[in-house]
Amino acid sequence: MSMILGVPVAVLFGQLLLGLINGAFYALLSLGLAVIFGLLKIINFAHGALYMLGAMATVILFDTLGISYWAALFVAPILVGCVGVAIEYFLLRKIAGQDHIYSLLLTFGVALIIQGVLTNMYGVSGLRYSMPDVFKGGMNLGFMFLPYYRAWVIVIALLVCFGTWFMIEKTKLGAYLRAGTEDSQLMQGFGINVPLLVSLTYGFGVMLAAFAGALAAPIYSVTPVMGSHILIVVFAVVVIGGMGSIAGAIITGVLMGVVEGLTKTFYPPASSAVIFLVMVVVLFVRPSGLFGKEA
């Protein structure tokens, strides 16, 4: 068997694939954070909890109502998106315009509530979700084995990321959004319903998180605490990429997943720390982040 730097090729590609999948999740989550940050200027600390809610919803919808995986990919994000809109409308709106620290703390409180309630209802050991039959198995690419589901996750996650980028950068709705980011008062003056736009933006960012959760349900263990660790990693990803650009958030997310995968291949003990270490280095070399505009 051929080796690269003392590592079998199949192992290397296997870890790269896992890295790409993690990267796809980082990309979806940091994209959602960036979309929300753009218009609301807040860091959504509840993002991890809402990602978890998306995964839990997918499992619970199947167990109780028999809703299939394919339907859940739409239903779960919509349901969780509604939760998001409610959070924005009933809570975040009340403290709009105050120091951003408060919105961060508010969403942190919301995350504790969601996580606490679900832990009570379902315990921390997690729920089981069986993969749809279509995705069972995989194909042999010669140098590695590619499970179908993992291939699907990468493709669909990148498609959704690209779709979001396209919507924000190339459509009229996206233009409103970007204009709102620049000067929301002026937008209001032009007759755009900015409060509605804010609600929908938050809801959309939350939907991206829930969609990631639904995608994660068949491959990760679905537990009420699954969101908290990944959120911290995604925060580091966001610091590395800077929140200046949509494309930047996506690229950094995928890149960091790959870096993590490579570390797992060559020096496993550092794999859970590597993204944080990259963050430290980036902060010294380029404090505003790889794609950041602001200081």
Partner 1 sequence: MSNSVNPADIHKTMLDQQKSEHRRRLILNLVLLALLMVAPMVMYPVFLMKILCFALFAVAFNLLLGFTGLLSFGHAAFLASGAYTTGYLLTTFSGLSTELGIIAGTLVATLLGLGFALVAIRRQGIYFAMITLALSQLVFFFFVQSSFTGGEDGLHGIPRGQFLGLIDLNDNLNMYYFVLAVFLAGYLLVQRIVDSPYGQVLKAIKQNEPRAISLGYNVNRYKIIAFVISAGLAGLAGSMKTVVFQLASLNDAHWHMSGEVILMTLLGGTGTLLGPVVGAAFVVNLEYQLSQGPLADWVDAILGTIFVLTVLMFQSGIVGQVQKFMKKNIG
Q: Which is nearer to partner 1, 78 or 121 (CB)?
A: 121
Cα separation of the two ends of the chain: 49
State the Cα angle at 263 between 7 and 277, rounded to 5°.
160
Could you tell me if residue 27 is left (phi over 0), alpha (psi between -120 and 50 degrees) or otherwise beta? Answer: alpha
Structure tokens at 123: 């315990």
86 binds partner 1 (CB under 8 A): no
In this structure, are residues 32 and 208 in contact, taking their beta carbons and an 8 Å threshold? Answer: yes
- Counting contacts by CB under 8 A, is residue 115 touching partner 1? yes
Residues 237-276 binding partner 1 (CB under 8 A) are 238-239, 269, 272-273, 276
Residue 247 tokens, joined = 């494309």
Distance between CA 23 and CA 251 in Å, rounded?
A: 9
Contacting partner 1 within 200-239 (CB under 8 A)? 228-229, 232-233, 235-236, 238-239
Q: Which of residues 3 and 124 has its CB atom nearest to partner 1 in the complex?
A: 124
Quick one: which of 34, 39, 160, 279 contacts partner 1 (CB under 8 A)?
A: 279
DSSP 127: B
Q: Of the two residues 7 and 101, which places its CB atom closer to partner 1 in the complex?
A: 101
Return the number of the residue (235 or 291) whose C-beta is nearest partner 1: 235
How far apart are alpha carbons 37 and 234 in whole angstroms?
14
SS3 46: coil
> Among 8-16, 100-108, 132-140, 249-257, which window interacts with partner 1 (CB under 8 A)?
100-108
109 contacts partner 1 (rule: CB under 8 A): yes
Q: Quote the CA–CA distance of 193 and 57 in Å, as a whole number.
A: 31
Quick one: which segment of 10-18, 65-73, 110-118, 195-203 binds partner 1 (CB under 8 A)?
110-118
| SS3 letters across 207-261 | HHHHHHHHHHCCCCCECCCHHHHHHHHHHHHHHHHCCCCHHHHHHHHHHHHHHHH
Smallest separation, CB 112 to partner 1 (Å): 3
Nearer to partner 1, 108 or 152 (CB): 108
43 binds partner 1 (CB under 8 A): yes
What are the angstrom distances between the C-alpha of 95 and each of 39, 85, 99, 220?
15, 15, 9, 35
Kindly tell me which residue out of 3, 4, 65, 101 binds partner 1, with binding defined by CB under 8 A: 101
Q: Which residues of the chain form contacts with partner 1 (CB under 8 A)?
A: 42-43, 91, 94-95, 98, 100-102, 104-106, 108-117, 119-120, 228-229, 232-233, 235-236, 238-239, 269, 272-273, 276-277, 279-280, 283-284, 287
